[in-house]
Amino acid sequence: MDVLSDVVAVARTGRPRSAHVRWHAPWGQEFAPVPGSAGFQVILRGSCWLLPPGAEPVRLGTGDVVFLPRGSGHTLADSPERLAAAPVCGPEDHELLGAYASDTVDRTGGRGPATVLLCGAYRLDPSRAHPLLSTLPDVIHLPAQPGRHPELRSAVELLAAELESPRLGTDAAVPALLDTLLLYILRIWFAGRTTRAADTTGWAAALNDPAVTAALHAIHRDPAAPWTVAGLAAEAGLSRAHFARRFATLIGQPPLGYLTWWRMTTAARLLRTTDAPLRSIAAQVGYSSEFAFGNAFKRANGTAPGVYRRKG
């Protein structure tokens, strides 16, 4: 797997949720923060206003996508005047909209024009959070632009169609489409950062650096391989010294430090999600003995692999 696919596969836990919601003006809704989650809002029809945390109101139009990677609280309303007075999402609404049950919901505020939203949420495991995700802003707004991001628009249309008209296979299609939508949002965001002169370090720069990306893909493709700095430098097509400096500058840690972190993150996921014996997990993350793996895992996580699994 490539690094971005792995980030999503490892960080997300449980089933993503979604809802197809129709609001009728006048309306407004404040959504409380949901720690340990990421959410999105897509405007399928009509328009509304978004009040992000600590920022000015933003007008959203048909086709706009808003992604909240840390589950930040926010407010939506049909007009800026109703943002300040919007009711907080109550327990019954939180189950409906905060948890995003896969269903179509009609929220009648009044008899005015309708705004149709596609809402979604992903549960994230903080213990397996990839540093790439920590570099994202609290709110990502991708405005609709004719001819731009056709793959994102296609995913939105397919997901909306499944929620509007559930049929055989919808329960399998919706989670897959939600994962696809998340990948497209992240891909578009990081690709867009190449135009920012300030992004000379960090994950945005790393993912747009062919040499560092080649090394990252090698690590994620085969974390069990006996990688050395020289071996990763060969994957990157750079000298050993040049590669080590470039990788550390962009990623924030040396190549073998990141390799060890990724191996332990992968092991933690396997311990929590599979019944594979410890010797098998050790081999999958590059350790020839269960003893060596156990020592490395305890140094990284503060507990032995078996204890970690039982607590999960």
For the chain, the average pLDDT equals 86
pTM over 0.85: no
When divided into structural domains, the chain yields a total of 2
231 located within any domain: yes
Environment class of residue 39 by beta-carbon count within 10 Å: exposed (0-12), middle (13-18) or buried (19+)?
buried
CATH code: domain of residue 177: 2.60.120.280
More confident residue, 178 or 219: 219
In a domain, 225, yes or no: yes
What gap in Å lies between CA 185 and CA 171, rounded to an integer?
Answer: 22
- pLDDT (0 to 100) of residue 104: 61
Q: Residue 271's pLDDT is what?
A: 93
39 and 145 housed in the same domain = yes
Report pLDDT for 197: 47
119 lies in some domain? yes
16 pLDDT higher than 60: yes
168 and 253 assigned to the same domain: no
Rounded-to-integer distance, Cα 133 and Cα 71, Å: 12
Q: How far apart are CA 243 and CA 258, in angstroms?
A: 14
Of the two residues 150 and 123, the one the predictor is more confident about is: 150
Q: Please check the confidence at residue 93 and state whether its pLDDT lies above 80.
A: no
The pLDDT score that the predictor gives to residue 266 is 92
- Shared domain check, 137 and 25: yes
pLDDT for position 239? 97
Asked if 55 and 177 sit in the same domain, the reply is: yes
Q: Is the dihedral angle over the CA atoms 52, 58, 59, 64 positive or is it negative? A: negative
Examine the domain organization and report whether 41 and 166 are in the same domain.
yes
Q: Are residues 163 and 299 in the same domain?
A: no
Q: Which of 170 and 109 is assigned the larger pLDDT? A: 170
- Domain residues for the domain of 34 are 3-193
**Based on the domain organization, do 9 and 121 belong to the same domain?**
yes
Q: Which of 146, 165, 193 is the last residue of a domain?
A: 193
Residue 258 resides in a domain: yes
- Check whether 102 has a pLDDT greater than 70: no
Residue 202 lies in a domain: no
Mention every residue, 6+ apart, whose C-beta is less than 8 A from residue 283.
Answer: 224
Q: What is the pLDDT of residue 196?
A: 52
Mean pLDDT along residues 54-80: 92
**Directed axis angle between helix 240-251 and helix 210-221, to 10°?**
90
280-301 average pLDDT score: 95
Residue 198 included in any domain = no
What are the start-end ranges of the E strands in the chain?
12-24, 28-31, 37-45, 48-51, 58-60, 65-68, 74-77, 103-108, 114-124, 140-142
Structural domain includes residue 201: no
Asked if the model's pLDDT at residue 99 lies above 80, the reply is no
Residue 279: the pLDDT is: 95
Does residue 27 contact residue 78 with C-beta atoms inside 8 Å? yes
Same domain, 155 and 16: yes
Q: Is the pLDDT of residue 35 over 60?
A: yes
Tell me, what's the pLDDT at 135? 84
Q: Are residues 137 and 179 in the same domain?
A: yes
